[in-house]
Amino acid sequence: MIISDKTLKKLIKSGDLVVDPINEQSIQPASIDCRLGDTFLEIDSSAMSAISMSDEIIYRKVVKDSITIPAHSFILATTVEYIELPDNITAFVEGRSSIGRMGLFIQNAGWVDPGFKGKVTLELYNANSLPIILEKNRRICQFVFCFMDDHAESPYVGKYQGQKDTVGSRVFKDIESKKSNKKR
């Protein structure tokens, strides 16, 4: 069940749900708007000949008040807001319609597990034929929170727990990774 604005306010006030910083204008009828941070990661294509799921990806970190995403390009960003989800609430991350209409696709794999604590890394793709300029502190996405049918037996404690900045892919740490298995 999607959580309403009224219930979101109650959960935040009680401390059962953490969204920080939060202001009244961010709370929408069935979501909370989140803003773009100032830290971005771009894949360093000069340092790699290909991207592999078994090797750590090399990124260039960019800290700026605004960034231009070239046409048909991809970057990682983060939200200003830090969240903490209890073990019975999950969240979807959705792009704002106004941003999508510019040709900017926003994703974070679309899902935040119960028990997650941290800022949410966003995957941004410019599907437009023109560059898109993004500015920090602008509303870029929204979190849609949902109650689960029961508390999670195993809340999230994974490789992105506690992130406070934009974090690149850690797929190379997955148990299926050949290199990860060699270290065992």
Cβ neighbors of 11 (< 8 A, separation 6 or more) are: 3, 17, 89
For residue range 112-136, list pLDDT tens digits in order: 999 999 999 999 999 999 999 999 9
28 phi/psi in degrees, rounded to 5:
-95, 175
Helices (H), 17-130: 97-100
Q: Taking the model in full, what pTM does it have? A: 0.90
Q: Domains in the chain, ordered, with CATH? A: 5-47+55-170 (2.70.40.10)
Query: What pLDDT score does 34 carry?
Result: 96
Q: Which of 49, 56, 58, 52 has its CA nearest to residue 183?
A: 56
Sign of CA dihedral 162, 136, 108, 72: negative
The mean pLDDT of 106-110, rounded to a whole number, is: 75
Residues involved in catalysis: 123
Query: What pLDDT score does 180 carry?
Result: 47
The mean pLDDT of 92-109, rounded to a whole number, is: 89
DSSP state of 22: -
Query: What pLDDT score does 184 carry?
Result: 42
Query: What pLDDT score does 88 carry?
Result: 98
For residue range 18-62, list pLDDT tens digits in order: 999 999 999 999 999 999 999 999 999 999 999 999 999 999 999
Q: Can you read off the two tokens belonging to residue 48?
A: 């790699």
